[in-house]
Structure 1
Amino acid sequence: MTIYPELNGKRVFITGASSGIGAGMAQILAKQGCKLVLHYCRNESGIAQTLDRVKVLGAQAQVVRGDFRDYASLGQVFNQAWSQFSGLDGLVNNAGLITKTTVLDDVEGEAFNQTLAVNLQAPYRLSSLFAQACIAAKQPGVVINNSSIHGQQTCEWFSAYAASKAGLDAMMKVMAVEWGQYGIRVNNLAPGVVPVERTVSILKQPKFKNPWMKAIPLGRYGSVEEMGAATAFLLSDAAAWMTGSVLTLDGGLIARGSYPYRD
């Protein structure tokens, strides 16, 4: 794992850190020496486990709770996060809902609206508060949004999820343009198929694994640790001239597209 000395002591707020990619990000950033503010919504055992793991790695860490479906509460959540270490240097908007439903099964848009609330409106609000605070403090900052390959290319059942991630990619570019003058960089991470706690056993089953292995040029799934390593890179000085970009980590899945397979 690449070590970025400049990240030592940097204060980073990670949303959705109780499991999955968020927990993986927390562990990698802990190894970089970051001070972490870890957010969760309902998974108390999960956030406790993440907290224990990063503290074993020597990181200073605090926890905040918030339900991102409640837009009015986001200001309070951010203020709590900002106050833990007297400011923040980075914001990682990782929390999100993976919604699978057909359009005709969600005609009233309940799942659609809830997905956009968590996946798009919450990052908008938290990012704007972060930028505002950084500007007031006369300091630079870094925003990273956990997007998805579904923001670029999608399939059945993902109208809400894909819309939220495509919106996140577009929103990121606007923020990068508007905030570059203040030294605030904004980039997105777009993971492909990354097994997490709720999917690891399913993705091991041959009926699911075999088609994915055929479709992914590198022939394997990604890992939460690799997503964490990419996050560290985006926070680091190695990406100092990178803003307004989507960093896709999918083993080549999107690049291959939907062409017929040539055996």
Structure 2
Amino acid sequence: MVETTDIFHSNIFRGKTAFVTGGGSGICLGMATALARHGASVSIAGRTQSKLDSARALIMANVPNAKVAVFALDVRNPQLLESAMKETNERFGSIDFVVCGAAGNFLCPAEKLSLNAFKTVIDIDLVGTFNTCKAALPYLKVSKGLIINVTATLQYKGTPVEHLLSIMMVHACAAKAGVDALTRVLALEWGQYGIRVNGIAPGPIDDTQGMSNLMPELMRENFKRAIPLERFGHVKDIEFTTVYLCSEAAKLVTGTIEVVDGGEWLAGPMSVMSVMEDEKAIEADLKKKKDTFQKSKAAKL
């Protein structure tokens, strides 16, 4: 796959600063790396200091001379976000791009989902996104900057195996639907300040931990064949969309949710069902993943 620098100039974000939540791993780390690759100073925020340190080292390894700051914080705490934004602005001189990507998810059918577990995902994904946007507002007013909210496609159709009751993500679907609405409303309200607000909705992204945690192994090839472009996404696909939205090429684009999924959500659940060969085996695999997730995640919520 080509690099973003093969399409966009390598220094288009020189003198700009990005603040990225959830930047310690996965898609958001890729987004932060792409912005640094094109000249932006980058602050990444997450809950685990060791992950943040590893993320900074990875960015520095891929982008020599990159300027990277890290902040260990919880997006549910607005005071910590305000402090990190203030320090970022003082250190780098501005905040031009904000990526809201902190998220939580696990597998659990709604019938067995506790209020605390449901509320935790809402608080991280939706309230955390609002907290981040609000903390960044004073600086984005000055820079006439951009917010990118990382959302999903689950809420457009339910999960692709919704008929199998062993997998449900009602908590994530509700949270991401809220993020979509928040994106559009903020685009309307904050356009007067020259601030653009958009979303990126990744589909199945193959090189992420979430994909390995949530996608049944027996379903992978069938699922891929049901995607119109017949491939899973990669973090690099999200990097391209990020650079585009942050660039002057998208200066009139606001209030949009850029779906990056190869047409998967348009195809819908039934296209996946039509190519399944062993539903009982898939159901057993889903149950195993759900049980593993509940043991490792739900107990912490």
TM > 0.5 fold call = yes
- Which whole-Å CA distance do the structure 2 matches of 1:158 and 1:75 have between them? 31
Residue identity opposite 1:147 in structure 2: T
1:34 is aligned to 40
**CA separation of 1:208/1:258 partners in 2, compared to 1, >3 Å: closer, same or farther?**
closer
Q: Give 1:50's match in structure 2, choosing from 48, 55, 58.
A: 55
Offset of residue 106 of structure 1: 1.7
- Which whole-Å CA distance do the structure 2 matches of 1:100 and 1:169 have between them? 21
2:237 is aligned to 226
Structure 2 residue 152 is matched with structure 1 residue 148: yes
Choose between structure 1 and 2: higher helix proportion: 2
Check conservation: 2:23, 2:46, Cα contact below 8 A: yes
- Which whole-Å CA distance do the structure 2 matches of 1:160 and 1:202 have between them? 16
Offset of residue 80 of structure 1: 3.2
2:85 is aligned to 78
Residue identity opposite 2:147 in structure 1: V
Check conservation: 1:144, 1:189, Cα contact below 8 A: yes
Check conservation: 1:192, 1:250, Cα contact below 8 A: yes
Check conservation: 1:151, 1:169, Cα contact below 8 A: no
| Residue deviations 1:167-211 (CA, integer Å, cap 9, x gap) | 000011000011111110000000000134535666898513122
Residue identity opposite 1:33 in structure 2: G
- Counterpart secondary structure, 2:148: strand
- Which whole-Å CA distance do the structure 1 matches of 2:109 and 2:213 have between them? 21
- Counterpart secondary structure, 1:119: helix
Give unpaired runs (5+ residues) of structure 1: none
- Counterpart secondary structure, 1:242: coil
Aligned counterparts, 1:80-95, within 5 A? 80-95=87-102
Give unpaired runs (5+ residues) of structure 2: 163-167, 276-301
Offset of residue 250 of structure 1: 0.5
Aligned counterparts, 1:158-197, within 5 A? 158-197=169-208
- Which whole-Å CA distance do the structure 2 matches of 1:49 and 1:140 have between them? 31
Check conservation: 1:112, 1:160, Cα contact below 8 A: yes
Identity of aligned residues (%): 28
**CA separation of 1:247/1:53 partners in 2, compared to 1, >3 Å: closer, same or farther?**
same
- Which whole-Å CA distance do the structure 1 matches of 2:266 and 2:73 have between them? 37
**CA separation of 1:201/1:154 partners in 2, compared to 1, >3 Å: closer, same or farther?**
closer
**CA separation of 1:217/1:27 partners in 2, compared to 1, >3 Å: closer, same or farther?**
same
**TM-score (ref. length: structure 1):** 0.89
**CA separation of 1:147/1:77 partners in 2, compared to 1, >3 Å: closer, same or farther?**
same
**CA separation of 1:181/1:227 partners in 2, compared to 1, >3 Å: closer, same or farther?**
same
Q: Give 1:65's match in structure 2, choosing from 60, 63, 72.
A: 72
Q: CA RMSD in A?
A: 2.2
Residue identity opposite 2:227 in structure 1: I
Structure 2 residue 111 is matched with structure 1 residue 104: yes
Residue identity opposite 1:13 in structure 2: F
With 27-36 and 159-168 compared, the bigger mean Cα shift is at 27-36
**TM-score (ref. length: structure 2):** 0.79
**CA separation of 1:72/1:36 partners in 2, compared to 1, >3 Å: closer, same or farther?**
closer
Runs ≥4 residues deviating over 4 A: 199-206, 259-262
- Which whole-Å CA distance do the structure 2 matches of 1:234 and 1:74 have between them? 23
Check conservation: 1:195, 1:223, Cα contact below 8 A: yes
Structure with larger RCO (C-alpha < 8 A, sep 6+): 1
With 74-83 and 156-165 compared, the bigger mean Cα shift is at 74-83
Offset of residue 259 of structure 1: 4.2
**CA separation of 1:202/1:93 partners in 2, compared to 1, >3 Å: closer, same or farther?**
closer
**CA separation of 1:126/1:27 partners in 2, compared to 1, >3 Å: closer, same or farther?**
same
